[in-house]
Structure 1
Amino acid sequence: MAFTTSKHEFCFVLVLAFTTFHMVTAGDADITSNFAVPPNVPFVDGNFFTYTAMRALVGAARPTTFKISKVSMVEFPALTGQSVSFAVLQFPAGSMNSLHTHPRSAELLFLLTGTLEVGFVDTTNKLITQTLQVGDVFVFPKGLVHYQFNRDANNSATAISAFGSANAGIVSVPTTVFTSGIDAGILAKSFNTDVSTIRAIKAGLAPKA
């Protein structure tokens, strides 16, 4: 059975979730060489500094759900120690990249196609929002809770995000709060609600069979 909730309950969860996070502000460590080579790489040439997996996006069918294609040091080891990474964000009509943070970097988003509603909440609990058009660039400050939403019900959107870290990290607000195993009673007290409501939210976020 699909989980449904009222608009009031949904807003209640989102607003209160913003206040539960103290963000980490650590960055990448400096390296003392030109670049870092993993122990399992015996020889370095141009191939080591080239990442080709993004070729799969060229000419591919548009995804039916939100899709992020990352290029961090995890996927591309040559980025280790270089304090840079990026991602391609694909938004089908009506989809979103839900509330999350990047604990080790700011995010600089460039909108390639479509329109996007974006927003973040600062440490004074002020919500900053904007509707981006093609060619616009928006910065999400380091460690702050933010989102991107394609409100257009008919057209997709595509963006590229750059990060000042080889591994910016991502912390999903809904997943971290409600699916990480925190006791339902603790969450109920934290959100000033009852355990049954927390369990209903947990059920709604559980992986679909």
Structure 2
Amino acid sequence: MEELLLDNPVIASVKDEAGVDAALRAECPVVFLLFGSVLTLPPLVERLIAGGKTVLVNVDMVDGLEAKDVAVEFVRARTGAAGVLSSKAAVVRAARAHGLLGVHRCFLVDSFSYRNVGKQLAISKPDYVEILPGCVPRVISWLRADVEVPIIAGGLVCDKDDVVAALGAGATAIASSNTDVWSM
């Protein structure tokens, strides 16, 4: 995934069927799938892969899956997804143990949650950390200095200025559900 993000650091975050259609038309090579159920997930992932996309599934947002190892096993066994996203350290660690990419989603709402990031990453040992909201370059630069894991800035990344600022602050990539951002 790292090579894909070097050429195009914008990740399409998809929240519904219309988003899948838009992601298939977009040049973004990586898709974060943020919806579905245990029944719809396999064909959604298959469709995106057939469209040339590398897909990571947010297991926290798939109906019928719990934030447990078995969710990761389901994604690995029943889909062709390259990895999973989760805000749960144990799930991200399980993804890595099962040979999938692991993206640890961290919601930074205050200094307490910021100080907790390092502890969570020590447990999850992710391939990437996604920080939300991703529109705060100052926090991205702090985190870049504090952790060695590549950073994905997600949430509230709304325009070119946000993208440029986040990348300039040290983010490896941007994740956005805004289709206008996908075409940058």
TM-score normalised by structure 1 residue count: 0.28
Q: Which structure: larger Rg?
A: 1
Judging by fraction of residues, say which structure has more strand: 1
TM-score normalised by structure 2 residue count: 0.31
Judging by fraction of residues, say which structure has more helix: 2
